[in-house]
Chains A and B, each alone.
Chain A
Amino acid sequence: MASAREMRMRIRSVKNISQVTRALEAVSASKVRKAMAAVSATRAYASKAWQVLTHIARQPGRENLHPLLTHRSQVRNVLVLVVSGDRGLAGAYNTNVIRYVTQRFGHSETPVRYIAVGRKGRDMLMRRRRQVIAEFSNLPAAPSFADVSAIGRMAVDEFLKGEADEVYLIYTDFVNMARQEAVVKKLLPLEVGDEAGRVQDFAHQHLTAAYIYEPTEREILDEIIPRFTALQVYQAILESLASEHAARMVAMRNATDNAIELVGDLQLQYNKARQQTITNDLLDIAGGAEALAKAIQG
């Protein structure tokens, strides 16, 4: 049994922990909101760029219009961008990302190389002896597009050099505060036919119009596709950030709840121990007094 002093100290430290975790919870909650607002701010550009892209790419006789849209018949090399956090204490957030990577690409027959965004992901990939060709960590808390556009550019370069025949992006989709899911998205070659809803919607309004191109379709695609790719990476990073903060918030709330429960238990134990000492002392005194009385009488 710990001494009363030790128990008091223990109770105090657990209380302190609960205060820290509660503060972290509040901080994460506000960061989730900010990250989500940043995600929605990118949607205007993304949907417009997508419209222009699909419009050009879906014109008849344009199958091999741009190398970034062209499927390669043989996939010899795969590049995977893994978005994780720089920091822990976020529940299963980082582990889920890595588990998904292993599940999806762990047993791949074509060689897979990785670009790690976030330190935790890099560490875990290295530990599993995966080939990590680049690392982007210590991103600002609220990254701007300029902060992360280099990542997308690197993916495009690798693809154009032929070092990668397909590029995938693994990140954590923010479903809601309680639920975040690791997902994979094919980044390159860009597939313009797969999102039927959006394409149809667009075809409705625009496909009839004949455009003037300045300078050429090819050059317009040269401008748009790399930016669109970088924007997808940016969105994935923001989405992952929101997920990380939500996961951390939930983890911290659980920690706070546990700490409060623990304090209750410890307090009860401490009180019992204290009462026990008092009872013992009283018994001692009573016993002593009785013995004394007997001695005087006798």
Chain B
Amino acid sequence: MPIRCEIVSQDRMVFEGDVDIVVLPGTDGEMGILPHHAPLLTTLKIGIIKVRSGGKEEVFTVAGGVAEVQPDIVTVLADAAENVEEIDVARAEAARKRAEEILAKGVPTDSDAYLKMEAALRKSNLRLDAVKRYRHTSTKPPRITD
């Protein structure tokens, strides 16, 4: 018996479907949700959500959020969730570069700007890693030509 999974971000529905297992990046550790799971509310950290149905697996990056689990449905209220297949590699690469450059300039480590950039860097690194590890389609990340 499958479990329903809905991943919504603030501006769109990212995923919706019946699946066999959902793996969530909970704040206290990764958790796999199977059908008939006990009701659960958890916060999410920045990481990867995996959704498997049949032999097929879909992978999403998420920048945090909250998940609600019920025996027959998992709802993820995600910040900036993206299907790995949809990630714009060039943009993520550019964002990483920008963040690294700003951090390299030596911003005070306790300032807001530093924390923001660090978060941005983590996010773009996550995206790029996810693409490298999980993308099925043969499209290789485009080479940067100068």
Contact = CB atoms under 8 A, between A and B. Distances in A.
Interface of A: 38, 41-42, 44-45, 48-49, 51-52, 56, 144-146, 149, 206, 209-215, 217, 219-220, 223-224, 227, 230-231, 234
B1 to A, nearest CB: 19
B40 A212 contact: yes
B125 interface: no
Contacts of B8: 44-45, 48
Contacts of A146: 80
B77 A211 contact: no
A34 to B, nearest CB: 13
A289 B15 CA distance: 92
Contacts of A209: 39, 70
A214 B43 CA distance: 7
Contacts of A38: 11
A45 B79 CA distance: 10
A224 B42 CA distance: 11
Given A215-B27, A215-B28, A220-B66, A45 B9 contact: yes
B133 interface: no
Interface in B2-21: 6, 8-13
Interface of B: 6, 8-13, 26-28, 38-43, 64-66, 68, 70, 75, 77, 79-80
Contacts of A145: 9-11
A209 to B, nearest CB: 4
A48 B77 contact: yes
Given A48-B68, A48-B77, A220 B11 contact: no
A222 to B, nearest CB: 8
DSSP majority for the B interface? strand
Contact of A214 (B40, B79, B80): B40
5 contacts: A52-B68, A52-B77, A144-B11, A220-B43, A227-B79
Contacts of A224: 66, 77
A144 B106 CA distance: 30
A223 B68 contact: no
A42 B68 contact: no
Contact of B41 (A56, A227, A231): A56
Contacts of B39: 209-212
Contacts of B75: 48
Given A44-B13, A52-B68, A227-B10, A220 B79 contact: no
5 tightest Cβ-Cβ pairs between the two chains A and B: A214-B42, A145-B10, A209-B39, A212-B40, A45-B8
Given A45-B10, A45-B77, A214-B26, 8 more contacts: A42-B10, A52-B66, A146-B80, A212-B41, A213-B41, A223-B64, A223-B65, A230-B10
Contacts of B27: 214-215, 219
A112 to B, nearest CB: 28
Contacts of B42: 213-215, 220
Indicate the member of B10, B11, B65, B80 with the most A CB atoms within 10 Å: B10
Contacts of A227: 10, 65, 77, 79
A230 to B, nearest CB: 8
Indicate the member of B27, B43, B65, B80 with the most A CB atoms within 10 Å: B43
Contact of A49 (B40, B64, B77): B77
B5 to A, nearest CB: 13
A209 B11 CA distance: 29
B119 to A, nearest CB: 12
A38 B10 CA distance: 10
B10 A234 contact: yes
A231 B41 CA distance: 20
A145 B28 CA distance: 27
Contacts of A45: 8-11, 77
B10 to A, nearest CB: 4
